[in-house]
A and B are shown apart, each in its own frame.
Chain A
Amino acid sequence: MTRPITAVNDFVVKFANVNGSGSASANGLFVKAILRMGVPVGARNIFPSNIQGLPTWYEIRVSGQGWLGRRGGVDLMVAMNPQTWDRDVAEIEPGGYLFYDSTKPMPSSKFRDDVNVVGLPLTALCNAAYAEPSKRKILKNIIYLGALTFLLGIEREVVEALLAEEYAAKPALIPANIEALQIGFDHARDHLKPLGLKLRRTDKVGDRIFVDGNTAAGLGAVYGGATVCAWYPITPSTSLAEAFTAYCRKLRHDPETGEARYAIVQAEDEIASIGMVTGAGWNGARAFTCTSGPGVSLMQEFIGLSYFAEIPGVIFDVQRGGPSTGMPTRTQQSDILSAAYASHGDTKHVLLLPEGPNECFEFGALAFDLADRLQTMIFVMLDLDMGMNEWLIEPFRWDEERVLDRGKIMTAEMLEAGADFGRYKDVDGDGIPWRTLPATHPSKGSYFTRGTSRDPYARYSEEGAVYVDNMERLLRKFETAKSLVPPPIVRRAARKTSYGVIYYGSTSPAMDEALAGLEADGVAVDALRIRAFPFEGEIFEFIAAHDLVFVVEQNRDAQLRTLLINEGGVDPARLVKVLNYDGSPITARFIQTELAKGMGVPKTRAGEMVR
């Protein structure tokens, strides 16, 4: 027998469940209880494109050190789904634990010699206690929660308090849940031994909040002054529009009349969504849509119009596995190129690349300032991992003094004072023209917006020189964008090194742990996190300053690397691809192993937090 894994506040638990069985609520309570004990948790839902019946998993990283990405490997498998039994059992680390429903005997061939088997007659306990099928279904989950509470040393009062909060609106349900918890807890106490994996109260959570990126981005849009939301349901972006709706209902009604200071339309498709965003942006409202890769494909024509006719708008792209319908409920960073160069003709678009819910909130608000300032479509590139999973993050912050930047809008007073209005005229040398909103002035400042070529005064023209002049100005505008978008964040290794690593988006938490692991092994690598496209100079200086730069991404074709090579004229040989694109969030172990391999380091071990 392999030695059982022992660890305090540092392990991975994975729940294997059946979709629609009510397990999500019990698993959520499990995570919240650990957080309430002051122990940081990274939790990820791995779910099917299905309402009921297919397998679903919930993977929980418990880390007193504060690692919130996926580590890789599973120390305790809570195997509640016979459909996936074999692969779930196979995933457990040697010395790890298998918790299962032992009501029906299982052949010994279904187990492994090198894992610790912990059986609880869950169905039998549940059926003995409850006669109604609905109760049996739901409370079974609470019974296993009770057993785990004992086995891992979770404070039982914490779970009970959480149950009371959870059912505060339906207090009649509280006693039944407390009872189910007790059934599981008591049975485990009387028949089983605590595991080698233990939870111990600490104070590492602080005032952090637990929230998903879609909620954060929806809230960011409220703070960013968005008034028009046009959207079409698509996984994994739907909850962003729903969050915006919920926050608007709370925060955006006229206190006196009760009327809405926002308009949300569920459009007939993604094309209509982006069309409405375009119309609203043209008319001076802050407008957005949220979608995923297939939606971005559908929106291509309008995105080109926005670029060429210079109309502000924001697209939240919550990326999923592509191409085509791909893996709708799995995560990827695979829309980078389709967003950056969206539409026909020569186009480039501003992308913001948040690393998690904090930046979803921050960039979600900033995107509207940038859209108005740059008069173009701004993409905020989330992904399913950060969009739909709750992450433990610093509380949201907002500067009370902050003023919305509405960009260059020419007013009636300016027109009256004799301003020379040319809608596409570069007056200030930054490539950004002035615009008027419809109905600004009775006789001055009107113009005709079109997707066809025109001169600086918005007059139709197909003359080559006029067209080229405008296209060059659009490039100048894109150059200006570099100074407005969030700069990259560089983290230097403890000593000078010729190795660098570039990453972005939801790779962040796994990267934090991988970098610490490398450092603990004495391997030095400088890191740069890209937060936006266009790429500013510092990114290329970083590449130039290192002999070899790893580019870590969650797609097959190394899309950001392609963009770096294309935009910066970088020698491809100096940018090494590190790619994870199986639909599951990237792990710290994967990154650490790949980087070590690339640098010729034989083996590394996990390390301490460096942040």
Chain B
Amino acid sequence: MTYIAKPQFHHPSLKHNALGFTRRDYEGKVSTLCAGCGHDSISAAIVQACFEIDLEPHRLAKLSGIGCSSKTPDYFLGASHGFNTVHGRMPSVLTGANLANRSLIYLGVSGDGDSASIGLGQFAHAMRRGVNMTYIVENNGVYGLTKGQFSATADKGSKSKKGVVNSDSGIDMVGLALQLGATFVARSFSGDKDQLVPLIKAALTHKGAAFIDVLSPCIAFNNHKGSTKSFDWVREHNEAVNRLDVLMARMAVTASYEPGSLTEVTQHDGSVLLLRKVAEDYDPTDHAGAISYLQHAHAAGEIVTGLLYVDPEAEELHDALGTVKQPLNALSDEELVPPVAALAKINAGLR
């Protein structure tokens, strides 16, 4: 049960990050998901990523909708405030939270049921507003908690555990995010931690709307033959376009890479994204090129993963609104309540 906290003791040789925290300090309560669930791997990747970027655990706010994936924020970052909101509406709640205090890091966790059906509208509008956040969809193509109905990301022709063939077109969240103006778009696989952890690190340090679609097979209801979201299928069709290393600003580049194979992208906060090319000619800063590449690869049955698009110069919602640097929730009475004299002037104008 989720109220069971993990024991705090740990091996004395556990590594500490720059803030003196161990990986354990980024953990949450014991997961109640099925043993072997891809979502737990994503939670572990979030823990690892936050540890590696030296995030103060309480400076992150984690929000989710409803569903298996949306339960997971309870299972990582126990020192952070979390909010399990209502079905499909996490994006609006996260937007409001972000408006109230722009100084925190916002992590939205959702699933394909939560974001691609009931929540598709809010997903779209949060992306197009450029809310400064990391939005992870733990995508398994199926409704787990209600036991195995297709979700809207299930591919056309994919077969359910009961043998029903899906006749509806699958929604591609990555394609949507790109179209809608997300300024960081990635896809990964819960079974590839080496790829996923750097992507989460880069998303958390990105300024603007960062979206990661993580294929996360449901071992209970969608891991059979005929499903296009099973472990086997995703492994077989996974085509990474690049591999990413994230260097926080203060770190020096120590690894050596073959010349020409490396793209460097410096983010707003000074962190550097080092991208090693896997696919020839894939440029993750070319928006139109990314959309075209993904369309072609999708038609060929490939599941393209990696950092698919990044705009390091992105603006976010607060830039558009011109809000003060100080969090709105910390403004004093004097800063909020106009003087009585102003009211007298308003009264005079209404006579």
With the chains together, A447 CA to B125 CA distance in Å?
A: 28
User: B18 on the interface (CB 8 Å rule)?
Assistant: no
Q: How far is the CB of A461 from chain B (nearest CB, A)?
A: 7
- Interface bits B45-73 vs A (CB < 8 Å: 1, else 0): 00000000000111101010000000001
Once A210-B351, A279-B92, A449-B84 are accepted as A-B contacts, the answer to whether A261 and B100 lie under 8 Å apart by CB is no
Q: How far is the CB of A458 from chain B (nearest CB, A)?
A: 9
With the chains together, A265 CA to B324 CA distance in Å?
A: 15
Can you add 10 more A-B contacts, CB < 8 Å, to A228-B96, A284-B329, A302-B89? A260-B323, A261-B335, A261-B336, A275-B91, A279-B63, A279-B98, A282-B83, A439-B58, A446-B80, A451-B85
With the chains together, A268 CA to B95 CA distance in Å?
A: 12
B86 and A451 within 8 A (CB): yes
With the chains together, A28 CA to B100 CA distance in Å?
A: 40
Q: How far is the CB of B332 from chain A (nearest CB, A)?
A: 9
Q: Which of A222, A228, A442, A460 contacts B58 (CB 8 A)?
A: A442
A403 and B56 within 8 A (CB): no
With the chains together, A281 CA to B61 CA distance in Å?
A: 14
- Interface bits A426-439 vs B (CB < 8 Å: 1, else 0): 00000000001111
Stretch at the interface among B195-203, B265-273, B289-297, B337-345: B337-345
A230 and B96 within 8 A (CB): yes
B3 and A275 within 8 A (CB): no
With the chains together, A17 CA to B347 CA distance in Å?
A: 30
Q: Which of B79, B86, B328 contacts A261 (CB 8 A)?
A: B328
Chain B, 296-351, CB within 8 A of any chain A CB: 317-318, 321-325, 328-331, 333, 335-340, 342-344, 346-347, 350-351
A-B contact pairs, 9 of them (CB 8 A): A210-B351, A219-B346, A275-B92, A278-B93, A280-B329, A302-B89, A438-B61, A439-B58, A460-B74
Quick one: closest A residue to B342, CB to CB?
A251
Once A209-B351, A272-B122, A439-B58 are accepted as A-B contacts, the answer to whether A260 and B321 lie under 8 Å apart by CB is yes
Q: Which of B59, B122, B324, B339 contacts A268 (CB 8 A)?
A: B122
User: B1 on the interface (CB 8 Å rule)?
Assistant: yes
User: A598 on the interface (CB 8 Å rule)?
Assistant: no
With the chains together, A328 CA to B40 CA distance in Å?
A: 49
Quick one: closest A residue to B336, CB to CB?
A225
With most chain A CB atoms within 10 A of its CB, the pick from B57, B122, B325, B330 is B122
Q: Which of B61, B92, B321, B351 contacts A283 (CB 8 A)?
A: B61
Chain A, 276-318, CB within 8 A of any chain B CB: 276-285, 287, 301-302, 305
Stretch at the interface among A393-401, A524-532, A570-578, A601-609: A393-401
Q: Which of A247, A267, A395, A446 contacts B92 (CB 8 A)?
A: A267
A438 and B101 within 8 A (CB): yes
A271 and B92 within 8 A (CB): yes
B328 and A285 within 8 A (CB): yes
A254 and B59 within 8 A (CB): no
User: B129 on the interface (CB 8 Å rule)?
Assistant: yes
Q: How far is the CB of A409 from chain B (nearest CB, A)?
A: 10
For the complex of A and B, 3 pairs with smallest distance between CB atoms: A275-B92, A279-B96, A285-B100
Q: Which of A225, A264, A440, A459 contacts B2 (CB 8 A)?
A: A459
Chain B interface category by residue count: 35 or more
A446 and B338 within 8 A (CB): no
Quick one: closest A residue to B21, CB to CB?
A442
User: B82 on the interface (CB 8 Å rule)?
Assistant: yes
With the chains together, A219 CA to B342 CA distance in Å?
A: 11
Q: How far is the CB of B100 from chain A (nearest CB, A)?
A: 3
B85 and A404 within 8 A (CB): no
User: B170 on the interface (CB 8 Å rule)?
Assistant: no
Q: Which of A276, A442, A460 contacts B1 (CB 8 A)?
A: A460
Q: Which of B73, B330, B346 contacts A396 (CB 8 A)?
A: B346
With most chain A CB atoms within 10 A of its CB, the pick from B3, B125, B318 is B3
User: B226 on the interface (CB 8 Å rule)?
Assistant: no
User: A263 on the interface (CB 8 Å rule)?
Assistant: yes
With most chain A CB atoms within 10 A of its CB, the pick from B91, B336, B340, B346 is B336
User: A584 on the interface (CB 8 Å rule)?
Assistant: no
* Complex contacts, A222 vs chain B, CB 8 Å: 338
With the chains together, A147 CA to B324 CA distance in Å?
A: 53
User: B157 on the interface (CB 8 Å rule)?
Assistant: no
A260 and B322 within 8 A (CB): yes
Q: How far is the CB of A442 from chain B (nearest CB, A)?
A: 5
Chain A interface category by residue count: 35 or more
* Complex contacts, B89 vs chain A, CB 8 Å: 271-272, 275, 301-302
User: B97 on the interface (CB 8 Å rule)?
Assistant: yes
B337 and A404 within 8 A (CB): yes
With the chains together, A403 CA to B332 CA distance in Å?
A: 10
A280 and B99 within 8 A (CB): yes
A-B contacts at CB below 8 angstroms, number: 231
Q: How far is the CB of A440 from chain B (nearest CB, A)?
A: 8
With the chains together, A459 CA to B86 CA distance in Å?
A: 18
* Complex contacts, A437 vs chain B, CB 8 Å: 81, 101, 329
B324 and A207 within 8 A (CB): no
Once A269-B121, A272-B92, A275-B92 are accepted as A-B contacts, the answer to whether A442 and B79 lie under 8 Å apart by CB is yes
With most chain A CB atoms within 10 A of its CB, the pick from B1, B101, B129 is B101
Q: Which of A403, A404, A438 contacts B104 (CB 8 A)?
A: A438
With most chain A CB atoms within 10 A of its CB, the pick from B56, B318, B350 is B350
A446 and B81 within 8 A (CB): yes
User: A325 on the interface (CB 8 Å rule)?
Assistant: no
User: B191 on the interface (CB 8 Å rule)?
Assistant: no
* Complex contacts, A225 vs chain B, CB 8 Å: 331, 333, 336-337
Chain A, 447-471, CB within 8 A of any chain B CB: 447-452, 455, 459-461
User: A112 on the interface (CB 8 Å rule)?
Assistant: no
User: B94 on the interface (CB 8 Å rule)?
Assistant: yes
With most chain B CB atoms within 10 A of its CB, the pick from A247, A263, A268 is A263
With the chains together, A258 CA to B346 CA distance in Å?
A: 21
Chain B, 103-122, CB within 8 A of any chain A CB: 103-104, 121-122
Q: How far is the CB of A408 from chain B (nearest CB, A)?
A: 15
* Complex contacts, B148 vs chain A, CB 8 Å: none
Quick one: closest B residue to A436, CB to CB?
B81
A449 and B81 within 8 A (CB): yes
B329 and A227 within 8 A (CB): yes
A279 and B337 within 8 A (CB): no
With the chains together, A492 CA to B328 CA distance in Å?
A: 46
Once A259-B324, A260-B324, A442-B58 are accepted as A-B contacts, the answer to whether A397 and B63 lie under 8 Å apart by CB is no
User: A367 on the interface (CB 8 Å rule)?
Assistant: no
Q: How far is the CB of A368 from chain B (nearest CB, A)?
A: 10
Q: Which of B73, B100, B322 contacts A448 (CB 8 A)?
A: B73
User: A211 on the interface (CB 8 Å rule)?
Assistant: yes
Once A442-B58, A451-B85 are accepted as A-B contacts, the answer to whether A279 and B93 lie under 8 Å apart by CB is yes
Q: How far is the CB of A391 from chain B (nearest CB, A)?
A: 11
A209 and B96 within 8 A (CB): no
B101 and A283 within 8 A (CB): yes
Q: How far is the CB of B126 from chain A (nearest CB, A)?
A: 9
- Interface bits B254-295 vs A (CB < 8 Å: 1, else 0): 000000000000000000000000000000000000000000
* Complex contacts, A262 vs chain B, CB 8 Å: 323, 328
A285 and B99 within 8 A (CB): yes
Q: How far is the CB of B32 from chain A (nearest CB, A)?
A: 9
Chain B, 140-163, CB within 8 A of any chain A CB: none
* Complex contacts, A285 vs chain B, CB 8 Å: 96, 99-101, 328-329
User: A135 on the interface (CB 8 Å rule)?
Assistant: no
